[in-house]
Structure 1
Amino acid sequence: FTFTINYLLSLRLITLVSKDLIYYKLITYNLNYNLSILLSHINP
């Protein structure tokens, strides 16, 4: 019984972490993208 709970908890943790990682990657990607656009406008 406790094994099942631990298993579910670890699964939950993994999904949360992976979601965070995906969001983080998206945000950094967008930031880099926007920065490069800004730079290209400033410095054509």
Structure 2
Amino acid sequence: EYFQLTFTIIHLLSLRLITLASKDLIYYQPTTYNLDYNPIYY
């Protein structure tokens, strides 16, 4: 049961990291490409 709990926590944390990483790709990658064209992204 303890192992199951830690596994669940690790699973949730990894999901959180994946969502954060995908948000980084969605929101921050365009800034590197389109700084001159889209100052709104700041």
Identity %, equivalent residues: 18
Larger radius of gyration: 1
Letter in 2 for 1:27: K
Letter in 2 for 1:22: I
Q: Distance in 1 between matches of 2:6 and 2:33?
A: 40
Give the root-mean-square deviation of aligned CA atoms: 1.6
Secondary structure at the aligned position of 1:41 is classed as coil
More helix by share: 1
Moved over 2 A (4+): none
* 2:27 is equivalent to residue 22 of structure 1: no
Per chain length, whose mean CA-contact separation is higher, i.e. which structure has more relative contact order (CA < 8 Å, sep 6+)?
2
Where in structure 2 are there 5+ consecutive unaligned residues? none
Q: Distance in 1 between matches of 2:17 and 2:26?
A: 14
2:30 aligns with one of 27, 34, 41: 34
